[in-house]
Amino acid sequence: MEIDGTVRATEKSHRGFELALAGARVVSRAAVPLPLGVVDKVGADLNTRLDHRVLDLRKPAVRAIFELRSALLAGFREAFLHRGFVEVETPKLLRQGAEGGATLFSVAYFDRPAYLAQSPQLYKQMLIGAGLERVFEIAPAFRAEPSDTVRHITEFTSLDAEVGYVDDPEELRGLLEGIVADSVGATRSVLEASGNPLAAGLPRLELPFPRYSFATCEGWLGRPGAGRDFGTEEEKAIGERVARESGAPFYFLTDYPTSVKAATFYARRRDDDPGSTYYFDLDFRGLEIASGGLREHRLDPLLANLASAGLDPGSFAGYLEAFRYGMPPHGGWGLGIDRLVQALAGLANIRESRLFPRDRYRLDP
């Protein structure tokens, strides 16, 4: 609807003005009834909302999430560029996966199979070998997640970073927490300036974020030395314990045991304790947001890790070549943007953090 008229001050309206209408034209006629109310007083269930996502996105409260998301991405880019990182783009059609075969999507690539990238892991490491010392990428990642959860989708946006000449995971954690704090701070400024109600929910972050070792958390859970990864409920219990210990929204879980990272062949095992790695997670109130650590940069231990993960080095020829001609110590992380938006906007389901989410059952709209 397009309308003309004159705006006049009046005490009769609670806004203090009224419009004296001179003319009105229908620009585009909407079919009735709407499948979803644009003013949604009843609160349609998420599936119905996603089935009619264009109408759903017209609601100011839904649009506010994507304004937050846009500000957050801009904040990340600025925080990375400010620290001397170069933004890169790596292939999403691959000959092999990096994160384990179970979650690979295969595609028919002319006369042979190919896979959709689960992460840019191998390529960002190759770029360190190429002499790009600090790289980051914000790009889609695809995982055939068989489980139907509120924190997994099949297409998500991964924010990846890789840093050369790093020998201490603490340096990576320092970079990551600084970048997260800067990006969340920049997001708050943008949202406050535009009057976005989600600004009020953004946490005020203090550096450094607390660090708890994997072994400490196992002790809290009463399963010392179990050496298997934390499940969803255990992650939540750790989040509740951290809330009592420090009250910090973001915290690191450090020193993951090798048994948990056995399939992560590129994760560097500790030199002084091969049963432990230089790997960590960044969590937000019981939700995993990022995983990272030092990578194995020496060819022989890397080949040994591939063998013990039961992988064929022949499938990784291009990757391995990068290690043959000089590869500095390096490390990095992968951070799920959708999970971070879910956390910062206080969303019950990760699907609400994407415009058109994809999951096991949803390919439309």
Q: List residues near ligand ATP by CB under 6 A.
A: 99, 143, 145, 152-153, 156, 158, 288-291, 334-336, 338-339, 350
Q: Is position 258 an interface residue for Mg ion (rule: CB under 5 A)? A: no
Give the nearer residue to ligand ATP in terms of CB position, either 8 or 228: 228
Give the nearer residue to ligand ATP in terms of CB position, either 75 or 334: 334
In DSSP terms, which residues pair with 359 in a beta bridge?
Answer: 362
Residue of this chain nearest to ligand ATP (CB atom)? 336
**Catalytic site residue 288?**
yes
Q: How far is the CB of 111 from Mg ion (least distance, A)?
A: 35
The torsion defined by the Cα of 74, 76, 81 and 87, in degrees rounded to 10, comes to -90
Q: What CA–CA distance (Å, rounded) separates 27 from 252?
A: 53
The token pair that represents 280 in the structure block: 């960590």
**Catalytic site residue 206?**
no
Q: How far is the CB of 210 from ligand ATP (least distance, A)?
A: 18
Query: 287 contacts which partner out of ligand ATP, Mg ion, none, CB within 5 to 8 A by kind?
Result: none
Q: How far is the CB of 343 from ligand ATP (least distance, A)?
A: 10
**Catalytic site residue 339?**
yes
Query: 217 contacts which partner out of Mg ion, ligand ATP, none, CB within 5 to 8 A by kind?
Result: none
Residues from 275 through 314 that contact Mg ion (CB under 5 A): 291
Query: 152 contacts which partner out of ligand ATP, Mg ion, none, CB within 5 to 8 A by kind?
Result: ligand ATP
The token pair that represents 137 in the structure block: 């990428």
CA geometry: angle at 72 spanning 71 and 76, to 5°?
A: 120
Determine contact, residues 154/351, Cβ cutoff 8 Å. Answer: no
Determine contact, residues 304/310, Cβ cutoff 8 Å. Answer: no
CA geometry: angle at 136 spanning 130 and 141, to 5°?
A: 105
Exactly one of 339, 351, 352, 354 is catalytic; which is it?
339
Give the nearer residue to Mg ion in terms of CB position, either 56 or 296: 296
**Catalytic site residue 151?**
yes
Q: What CA–CA distance (Å, rounded) separates 226 from 193?
A: 49
Exactly one of 49, 134, 151, 285 is catalytic; which is it?
151
**Residue type for position 357:** P
**Residue type for position 338:** D
Give the nearer residue to ligand ATP in terms of CB position, either 145 or 167: 145
**Catalytic site residue 152?**
yes
Q: How far is the CB of 250 from Mg ion (least distance, A)?
A: 15
**Residue type for position 51:** D
Q: What CA–CA distance (Å, rounded) separates 76 from 78?
A: 5
Give the nearer residue to ligand ATP in terms of CB position, either 55 or 285: 285
Would you say the C-alpha torsion 106, 107, 113, 115 has a positive or negative sign?
Answer: negative
Contacts with Mg ion by CB under 5 A lie at 291
Which residues are identified as catalytic? 143, 145, 151-152, 288, 291, 339
